[in-house]
Amino acid sequence: MRATGLAGVAIVASLALTGAAGCAKKDTGGTTEAGVALVKAGTLTTCTHLPYAPFQSKDPSGKVVGFDVALIDLVATKLGVTQAIVDTPFEGIKSGADLNSGKCDVAAAGMTITDERKKVLDFSVPYFDATQALATQAGKEVKTLEELVGKRLGVQGGTTGEEYINTQVKEKNLKIEVVSYKDLAALQQALATNQVVAAVNDLPVWNEYIKANPGKVVVAAGFDTGEQYGFAVKKGNAELLKNVNDAITAARSDGTYDKIYAEWIGEKPAS
């Protein structure tokens, strides 16, 4: 009798403890020591759209790595938390929907800062310069959009590359069949399998693809769109934005940025 009673007490006590821990976990978020609110305690949750090497892609072990990942890791370290990455379609990232719904704290997706996106996102200071580039299979180079009349040109849905091409096609009244793919992998696959004769995306991702698949694809033409990438937070999240900006600025001045650049992008172009 007695033994049972004690066991009963022990169980109740442990349930109470579990209950308390459960409550703490159920809390919708957490606040870091520095006073930055996060959607999940102890974690800097990042939304991205995979794959987008060299900015974010899975390594052979399945871990998401890349230039953006390394920079956001600096922010996480600064906040005393660890980064967790959520892979989600680009549309929800650039529209602000994912940040607004609390899916993540920050968006890091090789995302170009645009006026339209600035209306729905708060961007960090620029952390990378990019342009658009037209890739074709090696030996099948096309130098101008005019040469693509009557042919299929691939783009990635929701991106600045897609927007640039649609604008050009309209302005110049070019009868090109623009085909939109849901992610970079699908676009690159389409080019490799002749579904399209050329494909447009940001130059650094083509450079990375060519490094990984030498001799197959070439950058046949470039479009100097003068884009700059920014990380984004939910509109009004000034505390987190400050930490993101401070981490970028510090990394630029103490050499960390250059180290990360060399690791993921390669040699810096002479400026």
User: Contact residues for ligand ARG (CB under 6 A)?
Assistant: 48-49, 52, 90, 109-112, 159-160, 184, 202
Structure tokens at 138: 């090696």
| Cβ proximity to ligand ARG, 149 vs 186, nearer residue | 186
Kindly state the smallest distance separating residue 49's Cβ from ligand ARG, in Å: 4
Nearer to ligand ARG, 36 or 94 (CB): 94
What is the rounded CA–CA span in Å between residue 113 and residue 79?
24
- Beta carbon nearer to ligand ARG, 72 or 109: 109
* Alpha-carbon Rg for the chain in angstroms: 23
As a whole number of angstroms, the distance between CA 263 and CA 67 comes to 8
Tell me how far, at minimum, the Cβ of 66 lies from ligand ARG, in Å. Answer: 9
49 vs 234 by CB, closer to ligand ARG? 49
Residues written for the chain: 271
> Closer CB to ligand ARG, residue 50 or residue 217?
50
Task: Provide the minimum distance between the beta carbon of 233 and ligand ARG in the complex, in angstroms, as a whole number.
Answer: 16
Compute the distance between CA of residue 170 and CA of residue 178 in angstroms, rounded to an integer.
11
Q: Which residues of 154-173 are buried (b: 16+ CB within 10 A; e: fewer)?
A: bbbbbbbbbbbbeeebeeee
d(CA 23, CA 18): 9
Least distance from C-beta 121 to ligand ARG, angstroms? 11
Q: Provide the minimum distance between the beta carbon of 98 and ligand ARG in the complex, in angstroms, as a whole number.
A: 12
